[in-house]
Amino acid sequence: MASDPIASGSGSMDVDSEAPPSTSHANGVIDLSQSRRPRASSVPLQPSNLKVGYIYSSEMMNHFSPHGHPEQPLRIQQIWATLVNEQLHKRMKWMPIREVVKGEALLVHSEDHWNKVIAIQYLTDQQRADSEEYYDQMSLYVMSATTRSALLSCGGVIEACLAVARDELKKTFAIVRPPGHHAEPDEHMGFCFFNNVAVAARVVQQRTALKRILILDCSVNIPWPEKGMGDAEYIYAFQKVILPIATEFAPELVIISAGFDAAAGDELGECLVSPAGYAHMTHMLAGLAGGRLVVALEGGYNLDSISQSALAVTKVLLGEAPDELPPLKANAEGTETVWLVAREQSKYWKSVDPKACEPQADVEPISFSIPEILKAHRQHYLYTNHDMMQIPMMTPELEERFSSQIMCTSDMFENKTLVVFVHEFGNLRLELDSSASCDVHLERSYLIDFSKQLVGWVKSEGYSLLDANLYPKPAVATNLRHKTMEEVGRDVLMYLWDNYIQLSSAQRVILIGHGPGCKPLVDLVSRRTTSVTKSVKAIIQVLGPQRMPSVPADVDDARTWYQKSSLVIVPQSHPVLGPSIKPKDIRRHGVMLPIDEPRQIKLIARALPAIKEFVHESLSSFPLANRTNRLP
C-alpha cells in the first residue's frame, strides 16, 4: 500500500495538432468545449445540476485475451452493472469518452513509446504470435483492439480530471481499462499501456489554473512486507502518513489511482481490505482540495471484490457516509512498516511524526520484556549447568535477534547421534492461547524443570543436543524489508542445517519441535528433502491447542518418509481429533498421540516419556556400526 503525492511543475509544452473527431483546435491547443457529442437516444436525459460524473464505454471491452487473463473485460462490465443495479448511475452525469491524442500522451511518454502502442493495432496474426513471448515478459497481451482501448482509457481519465478541474463537476469516477499506473515514460508493462493518471495530471496543469495535484496510488511508497494486510493496516497508514502529507501539501485536485488489488478475495493482491475500508479511505481524501476528487480505476481482478469496492467508493462520491467499521488495530508488521515509512518521509514533510507511530518495543529501550527475562534465565541455566555453547548467526540482523538463543553441547560435531530441539520457550502468548492466565514464576519453573529433564535424557543416552529458541528478540529495524516470524524461523533452521548439522558427524538426527517450532521443522523437510530423509530418523511435533500439524510438500517421496518417521503429540481437545476429521487425515501424520493437558509447556513435559520411547524405537532400526555415539 502506498501514497504517491506529487507536485509536478507546470512546464509548458504545446499539444500536438492531432485531435479526436469532432474536436476543433487552433495553434495546437484543443478546444474541448466543442468536443461534446450529442446525447445518444440510449443515454437517459439527466438533470443539469448533478455534481458527480462518470466515464464508461463498453468499447474498452474489445481488448481481451482469447486465452483468459486476470485483466479481463468483465472487470468494468461488472462494476457498471453493479452501479446500474443500485440505480447510482441516475444520480451521476454521463460524460462522453474520447481518445487521448499524441500531444497529451507526450506530456509523460516518449514518442517511441507512443509509436509502439499505436503500432499494436496493425500487427498481423503472425506478428502477434511471434511477439507473444516478448509481451508475456512485460505482463501484457495485445490484439487489434488494444490500441483503441488504451487510447480511450487514457482519454477517459483526462476528461474526468478536466471536468473536475474546470469545476464542471465536483467528483468523477473513470471506469476504464486497460489500467495505467504501471506504464513508464518509455515502456508499457504490467497490464498497462499509457499512464492514464500521470498524463491526465499533466494535461490539467497545462490547461487549467490548478498546479498542485495529489495522486494517491496504492502501489508506490508504503511497501507491505507480507500478504494479508487489511482495513486496520491501510487506515493506520492513512492516518499516520498519507493524510499528514496530503494536508501539508494542500492539493488543488486529488486523483486516486484506484487499485482494488488489495481487496479481500483478490488472488493477486492477497490483502484483506473490505469495501467499507476503501470507502473510509475515499471519504478521508474527499475533504481535501475543496472536495475536488477523481477516482480512476486501475487494478483489482476479483470481479465480486472490485464491483463491491467500486460500489462503496461511488456511494462516498455521491455524499453517502461509509459503512461502519469495527474497532481496528494494525498488526505488528503493519505498524512497523508505517513507522519506517514515516521515518523516511519525515525528512521531506514536517507534518509526519515518526515518534507518533513508533512501535512500542522501541519506546523504552532500557526495559526488558518478561519473555526476554525468561529466555535469558533458561539460557544461563544451560550454559552454567551443562556447558552448552552459543552458535553464532550468519548476519548482524539475525545475531541481534537470536544471539545466545541457539545453543549446543560441546560434542555436537563429534557425536553420531544429534537431537535438534526447536521451540519458542519464553513466548507467553503460547500459554495464553490455552489458559486465561499465565503465572510468570510457574512458567520459569516449568522451563527449567523441563530443560533439566531434556538435557538429562540426552546426556544419559550419550547423544548431543542442539537447542534452537526461535522466539526472536524485538527488532530495531534498519531497512524496509522485513520477514514474518515464521519466515525468519525457517531461515534460521535452514542455516543451522546447512552450516552445522550437515557438517557434523551425526549419522542419526532426531528433530523435535514444540509449538511454533514445529512448522519450521516440516518446512525443512520440504526444502532439504534429500539430506533430511537420509540422516533424520524421527521427527516429533508437540503442538498446542491452536495449531494444526503440518505435512511436508509432496516432493521426492517426502510425505511417505514423513508418515513412517513422524510422531505428533496434541492435547486431547485438539481440533485435529474432532469428529469431522477423517481417519486418513490423521494417518498421514504417522503416529498421533493425544494427552490430557492443554498447557503447552506442561504438555511437552508430560510427553517426554513417549518421546523417549519413540526415539528409542526409531534408532533401534539404525544401529551404529561401532555401537557407540562417539567417534572412534
Q: In Å, what is the CA distance from 493 to each residue of 347, 392, 522, 580?
A: 38, 13, 11, 34
DSSP state of 184: B
Nearest-angstrom CA–CA distance, 601 and 446: 7
Nearest CA among 395, 449, 454 for reference residue 419: 454
Q: Which residue type, as a one-letter code, is found at position 612?
A: K
Q: In this structure, how many other beta carbons lie within 10 angstroms of the beta carbon of residue 421?
A: 23
Nearest CA among 483, 477, 561, 576 for reference residue 522: 561
Cβ contact 371:426 at 8 Å: yes
Nearest-angstrom CA–CA distance, 206 and 151: 19
DSSP H or E stretch at residue 522: helix 518-527
Is 67 designated active site? no
Residue found under cell 520440504: 526
Q: In Å, what is the CA distance from 574 to each residue of 213, 289, 519, 520, 602?
A: 56, 55, 17, 20, 15
Nearest-angstrom CA–CA distance, 450 and 456: 10
Nearest-angstrom CA–CA distance, 286 and 171: 9
Residue 167 three-state SS: coil
DSSP per residue, 74-101: HHHHHHHHHHHHTTGGGGSEEE---PPP
CA dihedral 527, 532, 536, 541 (to 10 degrees): 10
Cβ contact 476:387 at 8 Å: no
Phi, psi of 473 (to 5 degrees): -75, 155
Q: Is 323 exposed, middle or buried (0-12, 13-18, 19+ CB in 10 A)?
A: middle
**From 182, 188, 280, 386, the catalytic residue:** 182
Q: In Å, what is the CA distance from 381 to each residue of 376, 377, 426, 448, 517?
A: 9, 6, 14, 8, 21
Q: Is 361 exposed, middle or buried (0-12, 13-18, 19+ CB in 10 A)?
A: middle
Beta bridge pairs of residue 408: 389, 466
CA dihedral 604, 380, 395, 370 (to 10 degrees): 70
Is there a cis peptide before residue 178, judged by omega within 30 degrees of 0?
Answer: yes
Q: Which residues are designated catalytic?
A: 182
